[in-house]
Structure 1
Amino acid sequence: MNQSLARRGIYTPLQILILSNNTETRRQIELALGRFSDARLGTPTLRAYATQPALMDEISSGKVDLIILDAETSPFGGMGVAKQLKDELLQRLPVVLIISRVADRWLASWSQADAVVMSPIDPVALREAVCALLQENLRN
């Protein structure tokens, strides 16, 4: 069972982490997510990080429902972070990867990201990807 779901009470807001060293990308993601259309998901708590070590510290707290990674984050690219999370964590946290080039889809597949959204960020596409993954976790 997903560790984050085991700790959830009925009124606990969803915890979504964002990794991007680009402040504009983080802002676009936060604006795009806004309020979810599915009442069961409520309004998520968003936490944005500019560095991979800060993100990993928060993940180790066990209070994470989904992670959004910017593939262009440096020095650790979002694809590498996604691969590390999928290979090394016991819990399988859903990962959405933001990519800038269509040619990077094969790397996104290699990284085992659960969903891929193109940049510039389409708010509808990002919200749909995030909601679908969160709804799937609620069913499990």
Structure 2
Amino acid sequence: MTTGPRVLLYSDDRTVRDHVRLAVGPRLGAGAPEIAWTEAATGPAVTSAVRAGGFDLLVLDGEADKAGGMGLCRQLKNEVYACPPVVILSGRRDDAWLASWSLADAVVPRPLDPVELQRAVAETVTQKI
């Protein structure tokens, strides 16, 4: 049995996390193994989980309060050896320049389009696997 990708999903808002999981779906494609989601609601939880390792992809909410996903992404990319690829959920399409500063591998703007989000996750996670 093959295992699916391990994805860390960060947002301080449970509804955002639920929306992302629903939009991406349980698998990256027909017949693919199920995605193993791990959720985090705080910046320190993300940092701790990523340092512990074992993730193929990080999906970080750039609009999260206290610790935004873009700042976390930049920190992780600079401090964690072999940091997994990162998809940033940005506040709007015009924030792409800021997401590039964060060193994100992909950016999906709000409002979240399920097709665009699923495609970004699928393409970005294959960079790691």
TM-score, normalised to structure 2's length? Answer: 0.91
Task: Establish whether residue 91 from structure 1 lines up as the match of residue 70 from structure 2.
Answer: no
| Alignment partners' CA distance in 2, 1:124 and 1:20 | 20
How big is the shift at 1:38?
5.6
- 1:120 is matched with 111
1:118 aligned partner, one-letter code: P
Matching residue within 15, 36, 46 for 2:28: 36
How big is the shift at 1:134?
1.9
Task: Establish whether residue 66 from structure 1 lines up as the match of residue 62 from structure 2.
Answer: no
Q: State the identity %.
A: 38
- Stretches of structure 1 lacking an aligned partner (at least 5 in a row): 1-9
Task: Establish whether residue 26 from structure 1 lines up as the match of residue 17 from structure 2.
Answer: yes
- 1:4 is matched with none
- 2:120 is matched with 129
How big is the shift at 1:119?
1.3
| Alignment partners' CA distance in 1, 2:79 and 2:127 | 22
Runs of 4+ in 1 over 4 A off after TM superposition: none
- Stretches of structure 2 lacking an aligned partner (at least 5 in a row): none
TM-score, normalised to structure 1's length? Answer: 0.84
Structure 1 residues 60 and 70: alpha-carbon distance in aligned structure 2, compared to 1, 3 A threshold: same
| Alignment partners' CA distance in 2, 1:116 and 1:85 | 16
How big is the shift at 1:12?
2.8
How big is the shift at 1:54?
1.0
